[in-house]
Amino acid sequence: MNSGPALVSILRQGDTLVASVHTALDDSEMVRFQNDLVRQIGEYRARGVIIDVAALDVIDSFASRTLQTIADIARLRGAVTVIVGIQPDVAFAMVRLGMGMGEVTTALDLEEGMAHLARLREVGNARG
Amino acid sequence: MNSGPALVSILRQGDTLVASVHTALDDSEMVRFQNDLVRQIGEYRARGVIIDVAALDVIDSFASRTLQTIADIARLRGAVTVIVGIQPDVAFAMVRLGMGMGEVTTALDLEEGMAHLARLREVGNARG
C-alpha cells in the first residue's frame, strides 16, 4: 500500500475497511492515506470504513479536519466512516480547543465501531 | 469514585451511565466529574450518558458550558449524552439570560432520557 514503513495499515473485513493510524501523519502522508483509502473503497466495494486513531496521543486541528475530509470523501463513494479509539486525554484536549469531529460518527473502539456499522446495515439505513 | 461526599453519583444501567448532580459544582469538582465520567465511559463501554440536573436550582453559564463540554467529550468517546431534569425556573432563567444547552439533547426527566437513548439504539442511528 505505502512505500516506506506503513504509517497506516488498511485491512479489509467483509465489506468494511479498517484503517489503523499508527503514528501522527504529516500533510503528504495524510494525502497518501486519503488516496489509498478511497482507492480501496472502490476496489473492495466497501460500505463501511473504520479509522482507528487509538495510537495517536494528539489530534490537532489539521488531523481532525483531514479525518472529517476523508469521511466526506468516503461518503461520496458510498461508505460510512466511523472514527474509533480517541483517547480520553485526546478527547479532553480537542474539546478544550473547540475542536470536534463534526458530523462524523465516533465510537469507543474497534469493536463498538464494527457493531455500529452492523446496526446501520441491519436497518438498511447506511445513509452513506 | 470521589473522595469526600459524593457531589455526583454515577450509576450504570446496562450500557448507559446515569450521572446525578446533587449540588452546584465548582470548577475543580466539575473537572473531577468530567474525569470520572470519561473514565467510566471507557470502563463500562457506555453508549449513552444521562446527566440529571434536577437537583440544581441554578445553572449558570459556567455550568452550562461545562455540561456541553462533557457532552462533546463523551461524543468523541462514542457515547450520546442527554441532559435531563432542568427545572422550569432554571429553564426560564437560562433562556432569559440567553443561555442554552447548544447541540446537546435534553429531556424532561430520567424516564424520557432513557426512552430517548432507547429510540436512538433502536434505529441504530446513535450518531454518537
Q: What is the pLDDT of residues A34-59, one digit of tens each?
A: 889 999 999 999 999 999 999 998 88
Using CA atoms, how far apart are residues A12 and A44, in angstroms rounded to an integer?
8
Model's pTM, two decimal places? 0.80
Alpha carbon of A21 to those of A10, A14, A57, B94: distances in Å? 9, 20, 11, 42
Tell whether A47 is within 8 A of chain B (Cβ): no
CA distance B92 to chain A (A): 27
Q: What is the DSSP letter of A50?
A: E
Nearest by CB: A112 against B39, B78, B127: B78
Asked if B72 lies within 8 A of A92 by C-beta distance, the reply is no
Interchain contact, B125 vs A125, CB within 8 Å: yes
Superfamily of domain B8-122: STAS domain (3.30.750.24)
Cα distances from A94 to residues A51, A60, A102, B34, in angstroms, run: 17, 7, 12, 14
Which grid coordinates are listed for A32?
Answer: 497518501
Prediction ipTM score: 0.73
**What are the extents of the domains in chain A?**
8-122
* Sequence-separated (6 or more) residues with CB below 8 Å from residue B26: none
Instruction: Work out the mean pLDDT of chain B and round it to a whole number.
Output: 87
Distance (Å, whole) CA B36 – CA B28: 12
Q: Which three cell numbers stand for residue B41?
A: 465511559
Residue B54's pLDDT is 93
Q: What is the pLDDT of residue A28?
A: 85
Q: Which residues of chain A are under the pLDDT cut of 50?
A: 1-2, 126-128
Q: Side-chain half-sphere of A33: how many Cα atoms within 13 Å?
A: 30
Task: Report, in this order, helix, strand and coil percent for chain A, each rounded to 5.
Answer: 45, 20, 40
Question: Do B76 and A96 count as a contact with CB atoms less than 8 A apart?
Answer: no
Question: Which pLDDT tens digit goes with each residue over B30-81?
Answer: 888 888 998 999 899 999 999 999 999 888 888 888 899 899 999 999 999 9
Q: How many CB atoms sit inside 10 A of residue B89's CB?
A: 10
